[in-house]
Amino acid sequence: MTLPTAFINRLQQILGNEGLLSDPSETWNYGYDNSRRHAAPELVALPANHDQVAAVVQLCYEFSIALTARGRGTGTTGASVPLQQGVILSTEKLNRICKIDPANRYMVVEPGVTNQQVQDAAAEHGFFWPPDPTSAAYCSVGGNLAYNSAGPRAIKYGTPRDNTFGLRAVTGEGKSIRTGVYTTKGVVGYDLTRLLIGSEGTLAIITEATLKLTPLPQTKRTVQSIYRDIDSAARAVSAIMAQPVVPYALEFMDGKAIAMIRDYSNADLPAGAGAMLMIEVDGSGASIQHELDAVCAAADNEGLLQLKRAETEQTIQALWQTRKALSPALRTIAPKKINEDVVVPVSNIPALINGLSALSEQYGITIVNFGHAGNGNIHVNLLANPDNKEEMQRAHQCLDDVFTLVLELDGTLSGEHGVGIEKQEFVGREIDPVTLELMRRIKQDFDPKGILNPGKMFPTDQEL
């Protein structure tokens, strides 16, 4: 597709010479995300403020040009890949922290600000923003909101939907809207803030977010508990989540993940380990020991092989290093692994892991599982050689059955990675046709010409 000259000239007028990229050598990289999918955009728009975003969207609407918003490209589902080429709208210049209000515990930021920049700025006032995805040092707030990406702290503090007061955004017609409030309470009108968060840029382009801040805890403690099998670890998770002290983080690794760490690091792990939990507890200095004791008591059952408490920063780092050794090990073995982030009720974790083990054996595909056990968000990694067509075919057949298993266990196909391209063909299994049609109509109201991130989220037979 060749964009009209009139369109390009007017876009140039809106953005200036520094705000528009057209050379393929410059635009090519904007077609990737961490899914390793690629589609080269024809142009990359670099707006510097809300008004420029609105003007760009209005122009794309007038000419019916596909427009895909993009942050840092750390997403894993292809949601920021421009399937219809057109224009990529990068938020990299929308990178200002506009306001910090410690008295009312909120911060107003533009979408190009990184998660780490938010944390650093909030920490200067004694606060933090709870969402903490693995890519926090690099990923943008806009991407966090687009996917509702959370990370380990969601078990206690919630997701971006729980930690965002309001938004400023531009609809697919180029109309500016504000959603939400500046307070912890507010029920006037529909909750469009939560609707836009997680919509992957298909409804509107976020240009500003009012983030809810939380006071930094006085102190934290870390525990590593290792179990002989999945069932013992799952019983511990249920027991931990049933008592009053909610952990700051509750991370899980299965036996294959433990074996991989043992093979690719110097971690000291007991023989016969079938599952591991990394538990973090936060609170006040006066109460932390009591809260830690309560969590450790809940973690103790007949399947416990080893429980280590970390009392110093050095010991904490040593325990977490065991968990951090997993990602390099996975990259060494399977640089192009299939990585899913399914969620099931906590009590169904054993059935999920045992079912995944059976599928691994059935299809001859190694599956390694880890993730956020406290809310049942398990990262399922299928390790297959992308150069082996037969093995990749088996891997995708296995993935199909993985999703079937998850839904049979009352789960959902994605906890925080989103839908994008990777999962859209499976969405119809989780969402009934009537509800999908309602979502389609909502999309049409926000984006009448379907120019915002086209070809994403909905199953192909529900395409707009």
Query: What's the rounded Cα separation, in Å, for the pair 259 and 436?
Result: 42
Extract the tokens encoding 364: 């001859």
> How far from each other are the two terminal CA atoms of the chain, in whole angstroms?
19
State how far the Cα of 171 lies from the Cα of 166, in Å rounded to an integer.
15
Q: Could you list the residue range(s) of the whole structural domain that residue 291 is in?
A: 219-327
- The CATH number for 300's domain is 3.30.70.2190
Element of type H or E holding 383: strand 377-383
Q: How far apart are CA 224 and CA 308, in angstroms?
A: 5
What digits encode the pLDDT tens for the residues 196-247?
A: 999 999 999 999 999 999 999 999 999 999 999 999 999 999 999 999 999 9
Which of 209, 217, 334, 347 minimizes the C-alpha distance to 285? 217
Measured CA to CA, the distance from residue 254 to residue 228 in angstroms comes to 10
What is the C-alpha to C-alpha distance for residues 373 and 346, in angstroms, rounded to an integer? 7
Can you tell me the distance from the alpha carbon of 410 to that of 408, in angstroms, rounded to the nearest whole number? 6
Q: Which of 379, 399, 416 is the last residue of a domain?
A: 416
**Domain end position, chosen among 268, 303, 327:** 327
Q: Are 146 and 265 found together in one domain?
A: no
- Nearest CA among 281, 275, 264 for reference residue 234: 275
Say which CATH number the domain at 380 has: 3.30.70.2740
Residues 351 and 394 in one domain: yes
Q: Are 100 and 122 in contact (CB under 8 A)?
A: yes
Domain count, the chain: 3
| Rounded mean pLDDT, 397-409 | 97
Q: How many angstroms separate the CA atoms of 345 and 263, rounded?
A: 31
Q: At what angle do helices 288-299 and 230-242 cross, to 10 degrees?
A: 140
For residue 459, pLDDT over 90 is answered with no
Asked whether the predicted pLDDT for residue 252 surpasses 50, the reply is: yes
Total-model pTM: 0.93
Q: Are residues 364 and 439 in the same domain?
A: no
Judgement on whether residues 411 and 428 belong to the same structural domain of the protein: no
Amino acid in position 70: R
Report the pLDDT value the prediction gives residue 463, as an integer from 0 to 100: 39
Weakest-pLDDT range from 255-269, 281-295, 304-318, 327-341: 327-341
- Residues 49, 175, single domain; the answer is yes
Sequence letter at residue 406: V
Picking from 275, 295, 327, the residue at the C-terminal end of a domain is 327
129 and 226 housed in the same domain: no
- Mean pLDDT, the chain, rounded, equals 93
Kindly tell me if the per-residue pLDDT of 462 is higher than 50: no
Report helix, strand or coil for 288. helix
Q: Scan for tokens 């059955």, then name that residue.
A: 401
Dump pLDDT digits (tens) for 3-25.
999 999 999 999 998 999 999 99
Q: pLDDT tens across 36-82, in order? A: 889 999 999 999 999 999 999 999 999 999 999 999 999 989 999 99
